[in-house]
Amino acid sequence: MFTDETLDLVGAESTWRKSQQQTQESKSCQTLPVHTAEAETQAKDVLNNSTQTQDQISQTLSLDQDISGFPGLLDFLHTVENVVIKELMKNSKSHAFDGFEVNWEDQNESVSCVYRLQHVDAQERGLQVTSVSWNCTGSVIGCGFGRVDDGDWSNEKAYVCTWNLDRQNLNPKKPDVIIDVATPVMCLCFHPVRPSVVAGGMYSGEVVVWDTSRSQDLILAQTGMSANTHREPVYQVSWVPGARRGEFIILSAGSGGRVLLWTIDGAEAKLILSSGYALVQKQIPQSGAASKTRGSTTIGVTSVALSPWDLDTFLVGSEGGLVLKCSFSSETVAAVPPDGESVTLRAPVQFSFSPRGGPVHSVHFSPFHRNLFVSVGTDGLAHLHTVLQPRPLLSLRVSDSYAFGARWSPTRPLVFAAATGQGLVQMFDLGQKSLRPAATINQNTSGQPTYCLEFNPKHTNLLAAGNADGSVNVWQLSAELTEQGAKETAMLEQLANEVAD
């Protein structure tokens, strides 16, 4: 009837679970970002203070008043009397502040280039700045263009240019006045009192005076080519006081060995030769090593320095390395054959200094001591001399190549500047223990030489330097280089009194 039977397992999947898995989703939510920041504040401490003077004393103390009404004052004066008198006596004998002047202005310790002046036409033709000169007001600078490194005779056209640095619309690359010159300009010098008059010396041997205030013909006077004119390049022109009060005549000197003095004939627009000097080898005083110097009959002049202390004295630097002390009042006739000059040439040399190796490019008297001068040349040294002895007091290394210009500071007795063949201006301070330059000014001339430099006569913190690349840099010097320190004059006097080794 009934029997056990095993049947196969039969299963049925749940359709509900399957349907639930298919519809399952994951979801999440996030609140908006919560920005947080930290800040703090601090209340300032406030403190009130007050003071009250004592009741005003109606009594005043005068020198003739009885001090018995001031309790304790007499005892105090008796107590400090000896101490105060001792200190006053000590201070009266002290020289610690001799020459000291209080300067309340901020000190300028930097050297900066305030102008870089260029004449585009001159630079395009490769002309060099051979000379710079400031006019008597200190506002106008003039420069002469030519060539220093050209050994051949040259008739190349050149320029004389001026810039007025006080003009508001100054264009450093466009001169205010441009003067076309037939031959290279070797030297330039403004008139001492007439700001528009400037004299120049040419490579051809001519001397020309221009008046830049004229609107048409700027030539005020010139030598022309005559028997009186230099036959060689003129390397120096200067203005010298004349015989009449307020009169100035022109000194010119060149490699022909002549130093000539000219007066201006404005009506004829000519320079008239008034007197002349010839530097002859055999008429040089035989002092020291100078007697061994050999050369031609005449001595070529490369530079001249006028003494600001003695109007009769001038110095001459020569091509042969000699520096010669000369006198305008010399009556000795020069031992040269007549060459058509309208005046008798005289021999001016009174004293010769120790010769150096190569031409002397620049000599300059100290404005602070009548006997001191500095000279530089192709040996790269600056020699500090006194006119009282042949050998230099001091020799300083200026450059590894040539040195072309030297000028004493108009405000610092112990400072002078020198221009080098490496395009640098070296500032030396003789008050420092080191013989190295106190400052080195890079002219940014790509290593081309700096041929000339001049301090501004009015704005004495300005120094102009002319370069072989045809540019003129005007530098504003620091107070350290322009403001006189204590005892500088005494130190210079002590240096001048030393005896050369």
φ/ψ of residue 265, rounded to 5: -105, 95
Average pLDDT over residues 354-368: 92
Distance CA(342)–CA(262), nearest Å, equals 12
Strand partners, 252: 237, 260
CA atoms within 13 A on the CB side of 155: 0
Strand partners, 364: 374
3-state secondary structure of 269: coil
pLDDT digits (tens, 9 = 90+) for 217-230: 899 999 987 888 89
pLDDT at 338: 76
pLDDT digits (tens, 9 = 90+) for 337-355: 877 788 999 999 999 999 8
CB 226 within 8 A of CB 339: no
Distance CA(409)–CA(421), nearest Å, equals 21
Total-model pTM:
0.75
pLDDT digits (tens, 9 = 90+) for 69-93: 677 788 888 888 888 988 898 888 8
pLDDT band at 108 (very low <50, low <70, confident <90, very high): very low
pLDDT at 289: 44
Least confident of 284-288, 411-415, 428-432, 476-480: 284-288
The residue with greater pLDDT, 59 or 155, is 155
The conformation of residue 116, written as its DSSP 8-state character, comes to E
Average pLDDT over residues 459-477: 94
CA-CA distances (angstroms) from residue 395 to 360, 383, 412, 428? 14, 5, 19, 12
Least confident of 33-37, 261-265, 454-458: 33-37
The hierarchical CATH code for the domain 112-496 is 2.130.10.10
Distance CA(101)–CA(470), nearest Å, equals 41
The conformation of residue 213, written as its DSSP 8-state character, comes to T
φ/ψ of residue 465, rounded to 5: -135, 130
DSSP 329-385: T--PBP-----S-SS--B--EEEEPPP-SS-EEEEEE-SS-TTEEEEEETTSEEEEE
pLDDT digits (tens, 9 = 90+) for 198-211: 999 999 999 999 99
Question: What are the boundaries of each domain within the chain?
Answer: 112-496
Please list, in sequence order, all residues whose beta carbon lies within 8 angstroms of the beta carbon of residue 459, skipping any fewer than 6 positions away: 138
pLDDT exceeds 60 at position 117:
yes
Kindly state the percentage of the chain with pLDDT values over 70.
Answer: 83
Name the E strands within 182-288.
Answer: 185-190, 197-202, 207-211, 219-222, 234-241, 248-254, 258-265, 270-278
Alpha helices in 4-105 (DSSP H): 15-22, 73-92
> Whole-number mean pLDDT of the chain?
85
Tokens of 109: 């310790």
Comparing C-alpha atoms, which of 424, 375, 411, 370 is closest to residue 396?
Answer: 375
Average pLDDT over residues 308-317: 94
Distance CA(348)–CA(359), nearest Å, equals 20
Amino acid of residue 485: G
Comparing C-alpha atoms, which of 419, 275, 255, 278 is closest to residue 338?
Answer: 278
The residue with greater pLDDT, 219 or 5, is 219
Query: How many other C-beta atoms lie within 10 A of the C-beta of residue 462?
Result: 21
CB 290 within 8 A of CB 284: yes
pLDDT at 306: 95
Tokens of 71: 């309790």
pLDDT at 288: 47
